[in-house]
């Protein structure tokens, strides 16, 4: 049987309190929906040797989530995980609605214009209060593309590409 794909859902930013609590920077809403007993996973190459954590409680605090895990009973244990990413199996994520995508689905897509000119490869996503911004790598440089319907014409996950219709001046050197 094939192992389920693990999807990054957040990163442990720092400790919270002395009893092993942590502050997590969530990558989206999936982590906020988890309940007590949920299993979250660490990257297999985690420097701590731990592979999974069992959620006791989670609650929002500003742009972070406060979490307590069964396995983290002291500030020292929590400190070991600072900077570690948390993952959920893909089948634990709610399916996206039409024209919505998880970040992991978009990273690595080939980006081209509606005229067929290659822009580069989507390497990152910056979340802003207004709209996301796609970071596209082109010949060692970054091109920033606003993730708005007026610019993003098509996302074709099967063909591994995103088609954009950039406004004049956004990409001058194509």
Is 44 in contact with 128 (CB distance < 8 Å)? Answer: no
- What is d(CA 67, CA 160) in angstroms, rounded to the nearest whole number? 35
The pTM assigned to this predicted structure is: 0.72
**For residue range 38-85, what is the model confidence (pLDDT) as tens digits?**
999 997 655 666 689 999 999 999 889 999 999 999 999 999 999 999
**Cα 68 to chain center, whole Å?**
21
Which stretches of the chain score pLDDT less than 70?
A: 1-2, 44-50, 173-174
**Residues 26 and 84 grouped into a single domain:** yes
173 lies in a domain? no
Q: What is the DSSP letter of 18?
A: T
Domain assignment present for residue 172? The answer is no
Give me the residues paired with residue 125 across strands.
Answer: 134
d(CA 131, CA 164) in angstroms, rounded, equals: 16
Q: What are the beta bridge partners of residue 39?
A: 54
Q: Which two tokens stand for residue 161?
A: 């590409």
Say whether both 10 and 86 belong to one domain: yes
Specify the DSSP element, H or E, that contains 13: strand 6-16
Supply the CATH number for residue 46's domain.
2.40.30.60
């Amino acid at each position: 049987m094939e192992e389920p794909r693990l999807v990054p859902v957040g990163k442990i930013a720092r400790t919270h309190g002395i009893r092993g609590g942590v502050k997590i920077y969530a990558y989206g809403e999936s982590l906020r929906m988890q309940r007590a007993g949920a299993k979250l996973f660490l990257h297999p190459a985690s420097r701590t040797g731990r592979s999974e954590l069992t959620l006791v409680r989670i609650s929002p605090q500003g742009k972070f989530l406060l979490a307590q895990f069964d396995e983290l009973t002291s500030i020292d244990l929590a400190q070991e995980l600072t900077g570690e990413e948390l993952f959920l199996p893909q089948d634990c994520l709610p399916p996206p609605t039409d024209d919505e995508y998880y970040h992991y689905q978009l990273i690595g897509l080939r980006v081209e214009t509606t005229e067929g000119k290659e822009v580069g490869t989507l390497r990152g996503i910056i979340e802003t209060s207004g709209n996301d911004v796609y970071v596209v790598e082109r010949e060692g440089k970054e091109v920033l593309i606003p993730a708005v319907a007026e610019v993003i014409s098509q996302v074709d996950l099967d063909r591994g590409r995103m088609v954009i219709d950039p406004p004049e001046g956004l990409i001058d050197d194509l």
